Amino acid sequence: MIYIILPAFNEAPNMAPLLESLKAESPSIGKMMPILVDDGSSDNTVEIARRFEKELGLRVIKHEHNKGLGAAILTGLSTVISEAKDTDIIVMLDTDNSHNPNHIPGMIKLLEKGNDIVIASRYARGGKEVGLVYWRSLGSKIISLMLTCVFNVRGVRDYTSGYRAYTGAIIRKGFAVYGNNLVSETSFVCMAELLVKLCSVGAKVAEFPLTLRYDLKQGISKMDIPHTLVRYMHLVLSQGLKINWIHWWHVHHDI
């Protein structure tokens, strides 16, 4: 089973194009279960998504109030891992229509080669960004460079991408070590946090070239940039030594 987690907050203009793309790609993906985690949207995100319930087998989970991206991801992962097998696959992508589901089959192939996590990466050979303003692109590169210097995860260049595929086994292992603190950040920093925590328990990572279509996104960005930068620094300062120590322990004790 391919579980597809779709965290969303006020994505009504983007929901139908994304789900239409997912429907078009479904023959290539195979047996899948999309799960929309609505994080307290005040628009008609959920109503639009429910139009696809029957044809996509879409499930909807709702937060009554906006709790942040990290909380939506934790809800999605907790829900899936309660029923998924270790051999099942969990895919997560942004719901702003900047991530095309046509990457999923290629990402799954990399998991089948023995990887635990596959990142759809702008920085992999063949990856690119379309429609992202220069300063946002530069900022993402600087943050990924900083995280590389601190965590130095083999095979990772894009720490911040929200488009990833995981094995059920690595998500279960992450919960076994960290519990619900597997994702404690509520901001966009949660993606880097989740990645480095999973890698600290032995995840093998590969990257698949992503074409980020920011030009297709409708609506304004929800990122609070000053707050996000502060939270990245907090992640580095509070988790850097801890996560590297957990990684050392798991490597040397073969857990």
Q: Please, what is the angle between helix 104-112 and helix 12-29, to 10°?
A: 50
Greater pLDDT, 65 or 243: 65
Instruction: Say how many residues make up the chain.
Output: 255
Q: List, in order, residues 6 or more apart from 2 with CB less than 8 Å away.
A: 29, 30, 31, 32, 33, 88, 89, 91, 104, 108
Asked whether the predicted pLDDT for residue 255 surpasses 60, the reply is no
Domain count, the chain: 1
Domain hosting 143: range is: 2-253
Greater pLDDT, 222 or 52: 52
C-alpha torsion angle, residues 194, 118, 143, 179 (rounded to 10): 0
Asked whether the predicted pLDDT for residue 148 surpasses 50, the reply is yes
Residue-wise pLDDT tens digits, 38-82: 999 999 999 999 999 999 999 999 999 999 999 999 999 999 999
User: Amino acid identity of 176?
Assistant: A
Asked whether the predicted pLDDT for residue 180 surpasses 60, the reply is yes
What is the model's pTM?
A: 0.86
Helices (H), 120-204: 134-151, 168-178, 190-200
Residue-wise pLDDT tens digits, 3-35: 999 999 999 999 999 999 999 999 999 999 999
Question: How far is the C-alpha of 12 from the C-alpha of 95, rounded, in Å?
Answer: 9
Greater pLDDT, 207 or 218: 207
Q: Residue 87 is part of a domain; what is its CATH number?
A: 3.90.550.10
Pairing mode, strands 164-167 and 117-121: antiparallel
Q: Please, what is the angle between helix 69-81 and helix 190-200, to 10°?
A: 40
| pLDDT score recorded for residue 221 | 62
Greater pLDDT, 244 or 197: 197
| pLDDT score recorded for residue 248 | 47
Alpha carbon 140 to its chain centroid, in Å, reads 15
Question: How far is the C-alpha of 94 from the C-alpha of 1, rounded, in Å?
Answer: 20
| pLDDT score recorded for residue 252 | 47
